[in-house]
Amino acid sequence: MEPTGTFSPTRRHVLGGLTTGLAAVAAPALARQATPAESPRASSQAAPPNPVTQYPKPPFPRQQQDPPGLAGKMTPRPDHGEASYRGSGKLMGRKALVTGGDSGIGRAAAIAFAREGADVAINYLSVEEPDAREVVQLIREAGRKAVALPGDIRDEAFCEKLVADAARELGGLDLLVNNAAQQQAVESILDLSTAQFDSTLKTNLYAMFWISKAAVPHLKPGASLINTTSVQAYDPSPNLLDYAQTKAAMVAFTKALAKQLAGKGIRVNAVAPGPVWTPLQVSGGQPPSALEEFGGQTPLERPAQPAELASVYVLLASPESSYATGQVYGVSGGSGNP
């Protein structure tokens, strides 16, 4: 998020109408991505990859960025499914809003939704525009409408405008992914400032509440709302005291709202990732020293790549999961979730 006058270390934010931020700027050409037919997953004859060795493992090079960080500056660069995700029409004609859609899990979900046939609006901070431009271009290359809505979701009025703008630009709204988050590691409660505590809660909890509340009047039977919680909800790290609290609260929010909206035919679920290789981690979410071994403590001995979570969001967004509501889907490499 970007408060007026100063920038605060917040993560993953608002998508925007092409009239805002990205509207006036043509997306620069990306390196050519593989088409679905060229994807390494395309061949039915190929043996399934070994999940232990499928993606990079620790040790990772020490690196640090100012919050909120950019995927394009990470080493190794995260895989959001740009060259590998193949759609099959599961979300044809749907209209989705994804917060934090410029990079990380939100980017992977946005790409997958577009390749499954959905038009997608993404939210992000204006400083994340280089990453966001790439996502907008990928959505367009999938033949779908892209709406870019940058802004600070810690502001209630902006959250209301975000939803209204997304629904107007997309011609409706039936999928919402609350994914934007702030995570800053602090070793001791004595060093956790009220300002950071407030910013984390505003980003992770208040924004989810404001955006969901604004979205519900637009949602019709068959709509799906998906929240990104975390393994931290169940197995909190001592240096993520504020972040872990918000992720635990998101689980309760998901289950309670699912009961409220079930009678309206609107499903509410959550995804609880374990360690995922995203800019959130290299911009203060982990101490630089811990980042070198990030994800190595899981049974799969590595962090997830955002691309590995995309299909879970697609499943929860699609009618294929029509009996799933109030559920929390863990994707944690073998540890941390109940």
274-297 tens-digit pLDDT: 999 999 898 889 988 899 999 999
pLDDT band at 335 (very low <50, low <70, confident <90, very high): confident
- Within-domain flag for 140: yes
Catalytic residue among 243, 313, 323, 329: 243
pLDDT of residue 46: 81
Task: Look up tokens 């608002």; give the residue.
Answer: 14
- Within-domain flag for 38: no
- Within-domain flag for 35: no
Of 268, 270, 263, nearest to 312 by C-alpha is 270
Check if 85 is active-site.
no
- Within-domain flag for 8: no
Report in angstroms the alpha-carbon separations of 222 from 47, 90, 229, 280.
Answer: 36, 13, 22, 32
Helix axes 104-115, 307-317, angle to 10 degrees: 60
Instruction: Reply yes or no on whether the pLDDT at 44 is more than 80.
Output: no
pLDDT tens per residue across span 109-166: 999 999 999 999 999 999 999 999 999 999 999 999 999 999 999 999 999 999 999 9
- Within-domain flag for 174: yes
How far is Cα 202 from Cα 156, in angstroms, rounded to an integer? 9
What number is the average pLDDT over the span 319-337? 95
Cα radius of gyration rounded to whole Å, the chain: 18
Q: 46: burial class by Cβ within 10 Å (0-12, 13-18, 19+)?
A: exposed
- Within-domain flag for 327: yes
- Within-domain flag for 324: yes
Of 271, 302, 334, nearest to 79 by C-alpha is 302
pLDDT band at 30 (very low <50, low <70, confident <90, very high): very low
Report in angstroms the alpha-carbon separations of 186 from 190, 237, 270, 287.
Answer: 9, 10, 26, 9
291 contacts 75 by C-beta, under 8 angstroms = no
Lowest mean pLDDT among 20-24, 190-194, 256-260: 20-24
Tell me the residue range of the domain where 142 lies: 58-331
SS3 state of residue 136: helix
pLDDT band at 337 (very low <50, low <70, confident <90, very high): confident
Helix axes 104-115, 129-141, angle to 10 degrees: 20
Return the CATH number at 120.
3.40.50.720
Output DSSP code: residue 66: S
- Within-domain flag for 53: no
Number of separate domains in the chain: 1
How far is Cα 197 from Cα 243, in angstroms, rounded to an integer? 8
